[in-house]
Amino acid sequence: MANYPADPRHFLPPGFRVEAWPPVEARNRPHRRLRSFVGPVQKVNEMVGIAILHPEVAQEDFRSMALTLRVYLYHRRQVRSAKIEPCPLGAAYVTFSSCLERDRIIGEGARSFGPYTLRFVKHDEGINATKCELDRIAWFMLLNYPLDCRHPIVVNKAVAGFGLLLKIHDYSTTACVIVKVQLHHRAEIPDDVLVTVGHEPAARSFTAMVVPLISEWVLPLGDEMPPPDDALAHPLPPSPPWWMGAHPAGLGNIIKEKLQVHPPNPLLSWARLDIHDAHVDSHLVPISTTAMVNMWSIAHDANIWPQPEEFITKRFKEDISVL
């Protein structure tokens, strides 16, 4: 909830006072809210929770309530050490000894606390917390942006009123800075930003024009798919066919079949010269005859290779000899 009741006078440090609350000028004008996008922050207060009482207890009774709450946490909830401070979002801020202890107390839900009902929430889940979806990305030109203020930390402060700085473009020149900003789809883009540099009495303010360039919607991730009812959520993938190399020899079988169907050199180059007459079976090979190996005939011999003209890798699936 963005609008909630609060009286700041109960949280003043010594020596300070509120002039008028609510301010007189605020009673006759629309509500004004300054939005500041600061980006991710390191969570270092995970031990802090907010105690919420129903019905509420007046802030004037905080001291007596805090003493009773401390005794209750010690004896009834086994919280041995807790720091209790005033809280405008509930009955009190409670700092536990560990994040685990805080989450245990929150997980136990609402409990009876005398005539009250007591429950705890995390410190960042109070009534002042609302959900903000940064679902739009836009590019802007900051024209006439001061040269000495172009460090990413300073530029982030300049655009923090309407978006979260994602990137400063490399094209940025002396005349302008090109920035990529993530923002809410209802964010009001200002016409310019006023950058104040320095401190009194030498502070200066520079006006930089805000020029929208290109915007694109951030696509949300798809819904999670439920696991199947009758199968494993993460089964083993199916085995690939043997010819795709699932077996170490799979690729080798393809290479062998390729060499069988289409020999790279049908006639092997290592020719031999006959130096005397020879007989091969019933054939006479006279002297000075050049002999060459006909690989094409060997690879296409139907007596050795069934269907020699077909590309059949399975013929090499088993380690068998064709000789």
| 57-111 per-position pLDDT tens digit | 888 889 999 999 999 999 999 998 889 999 999 999 999 999 999 999 999 999 9
pLDDT digits (tens, 9 = 90+) for 188-229: 788 899 988 887 777 888 999 999 887 565 555 555 566 667
Task: Find residue 291's DSSP bridge partners.
Answer: 272
- Domain hosting residue 257, numbered range: 242-316
Residue 93 CB partners (closer than 8 Å, separation 6+) = 48, 49, 50, 51, 83, 84, 85, 86, 87, 123
pLDDT band at 251 (very low <50, low <70, confident <90, very high): low
Q: Are 140 and 212 in contact (CB under 8 A)?
A: yes
The answer to whether position 248 is within a domain reads yes
The answer to whether position 54 is within a domain reads yes
Whether pLDDT at 320 is above 50: no
- Residues 110, 140 share a domain: no
Q: Which of 130, 152, 169 is the last residue of a domain?
A: 130
Residue 217 CB partners (closer than 8 Å, separation 6+) = 135, 136, 137
* From 45-49, 120-124, 232-236, the region with the lowest mean pLDDT: 232-236
Residue 127, Ramachandran bin (φ over 0: left; ψ between -120 and 50: alpha; else beta): alpha
* Angstrom distance (rounded) from CA 69 to CA 277: 118
Identity of residue 307: Q
Q: Which of 130, 152, 172 is the last residue of a domain?
A: 130
The answer to whether position 308 is within a domain reads yes
Structure tokens at 192: 């310019």
Task: Find residue 138's DSSP bridge partners.
Answer: 181, 215
Q: Are 166 and 160 in contact (CB under 8 A)?
A: no
pLDDT band at 323 (very low <50, low <70, confident <90, very high): very low
Between the alpha carbon of residue 144 and those of residues 5, 141, 154, 193, 204, the distances in Å are 42, 9, 15, 11, 14
The answer to whether position 31 is within a domain reads no
Residue 134 CB partners (closer than 8 Å, separation 6+) = 37, 163, 164, 182, 183, 184, 218
Q: Are 151 and 101 in contact (CB under 8 A)?
A: no
The answer to whether position 16 is within a domain reads no
Tokens 């190399």 belong to: 245
The pTM of this model reads 0.58
The answer to whether position 27 is within a domain reads no
The answer to whether position 168 is within a domain reads yes
- Residues 146, 81 share a domain: no
Q: Helices (H), strands (E): how many in the chain?
A: 5, 14
The answer to whether position 30 is within a domain reads no
Structure tokens at 68: 């009773």
Q: Which of 106, 130, 154 is the last residue of a domain?
A: 130
pLDDT on residue 32:
66
What's the domain count of the chain? 3
- Residues 167, 187 share a domain: yes
